[in-house]
Chains A and B, each alone.
Chain A
Amino acid sequence: MKNLIILGAGTAGTMMSNHLHKRLPADWKITIVDQRTEHYYQPGFLFVPFGIYEPEEIVKPISKFIPKEVDWLQIEVDRIDKDTDTVYLKNGDSLPYDVLVIATGNDIAPEEIEGMSGEGWHKDIFDFYTLEGATKLHQKLKDFEGGKVVVHICEMPIKCPVAPLEFAFLADAYFENRGIRDKVDLSFVTPMSGAFTKPKATEKLDYLLKEKNINVVPDFNIERVDNNEKKIYDYAGQEVAYDLLITTPTNMGSKAIERSGFGDELNYVPTNKATLQTKVKDNIFAIGDATNVPASKAGSVAHFEGEVLLENVLNYIEGKPLKEGFDGHANCFVETGHGKALLIDFNYTHEPVTGTFPFPGVGPLRLLKESRMNHMGKMAFKWIYWNMLITGKHIPFIPNKMQLAGKNFD
């Protein structure tokens, strides 16, 4: 018997257990390990603060999505010993492997910024990147009567890099619906050069910020939070005052990667961006938010990576050369509020542009343009996620490589 171990049973790990179980030769055994018992639909975290989703809709047991032939272990991974091809678990047990797939994702690390996880945490400083943060923020927003609301990104990279901006758009609509928009001073504070950084997106979408009266503070690299003065400060001496700070803390890969001694400074696994084999050792592969590949960290990206990783694990086992199959493809719906959304489709080399999707010239979805249909797409994504994406089914009409047809490049 040969052993393949998957670390992490989130979006990517669960999907790979389904893919690999169907395709690995009969003499291979698959084991999947996760510290949690529950699978979170993280894109749903965006909607919880506004009461659009109830927490129950976005949490299901992990076991429901793992094939029964796959061994599922609920325990924290302590570390990987790459030299002896062994995974060590928190209880001291060890698991030897022939092939390892790392899918441990990332998580917020508010303690990385001075003062952030201090006395104001989850009182007037909130995240919505965890179920706990999103749920507590929902309570806070319900009682909020007005003041300075600051939507903020600590540092890049973060998963779903547009989520904070979507949050700002939804907050504008939420306060408007509650009739207190004129009492809220809404700003978006980012370490990037603007809310939009790509030329085409900036040209097409900058109007949204004006229309929604969102004040953008760019190039803000946060150094510390002052809980008493209720201000954030950056390294260049800029300051922004808040009554309610909705931040996206530093995102970091798993501590298990740090303990294994091969992560980068944010605990991401050095990985070949086209083959998804790690640079750690030939028999270790990585997928999803856990890697350092320069693609967006998103569920759709994990989905597109999945087919490439499957082929390459099989190639590796058969001693064949690996395929440089992953092009950085991402496809994301961006909520803009009031029942509308945008759709963006891009890869390592092509920025998001206007056009039609998935059928060139037809649509029905419009790229880089607000529409109600796109919003329906975003809402349908929850069903697709639970029923197709993590169960490793092919999503019709959407190839894993980005299509050039139907897009308006210059």
Chain B
Amino acid sequence: MEKIIANQSINVNDEGYLTNHSQWNREIGHAIAQEEGIEMTDHHWKVVDYLQEQHKNDVPLTIRRVGKSGVVDIKGFYELFPKGPLKTSSKIAGIPKPASCI
């Protein structure tokens, strides 16, 4: 379905994850973060950049991988994106929600 985010018409799934990463830009990331109640800082953006880089290389993302990335540790990741950090940060980064096979 389509949703207007930051005045742009964007394709998202039922849960609000972008279905076409090429439609992503920082304004959209910013708007999704606001909906999630997160005020983006440089550190938040560094995490988002990292997630997008991994996604581009087909590397499945896990909390552990982010925690070992050197960008942020697991505790810090929870401080930046409370509750479900990987889910929230993936949504802001415009990449799919981490999923299992079924």
Contacts and interface: CB of A to CB of B under 8 A. Distances in A.
B58 A201 contact: no
Given A265-B64, A292-B59, A156 B98 contact: yes
B70 to A, nearest CB: 11
Contacts of B74: 221, 223, 235
Is the interface on chain B under 10, 10 to 19, 20 to 34, or 35 or more residues?
20 to 34
A346 B97 contact: no
Contacts of A199: 13-14
Interface string B47-75: 00000000000111011110010000011
Contact of A219 (B65, B68, B83): B83
Contact of B75 (A235, A250, A264, A265): A235
A198 B83 contact: no
A303 interface: no
Contact of A221 (B13, B63, B82): B63
B101 A296 contact: yes
A162 B102 contact: yes
Interface residues of A, number: 34
A201 B100 CA distance: 11
Contacts of A293: 58
B83 A236 contact: yes
Contacts of B4: none
B37 to A, nearest CB: 15
Contacts of A162: 100-102
Contacts of A205: 102
Contact of B101 (A219, A273, A292, A344): A344
Contacts of B84: 193, 219
Nearest to A191: B63
Interface of B: 13-14, 58-60, 62-65, 68, 74-75, 78, 82-84, 87, 97-102
Interface of A: 155-157, 161-162, 191-193, 196-199, 201, 205, 219, 221, 223, 235-236, 250, 264-266, 273, 292-294, 296, 330, 332, 334, 344, 346, 352
Given A235-B63, A296-B101, 16 more contacts: A157-B60, A162-B100, A191-B63, A192-B99, A197-B98, A219-B84, A236-B82, A236-B83, A265-B64, A265-B65, A294-B58, A294-B59, A294-B60, A330-B101, A344-B102, A352-B102
**Which 8 pairs from chain A and chain B are nearest by CB?**
A197-B99, A201-B102, A265-B68, A219-B84, A296-B101, A161-B100, A294-B60, A197-B100
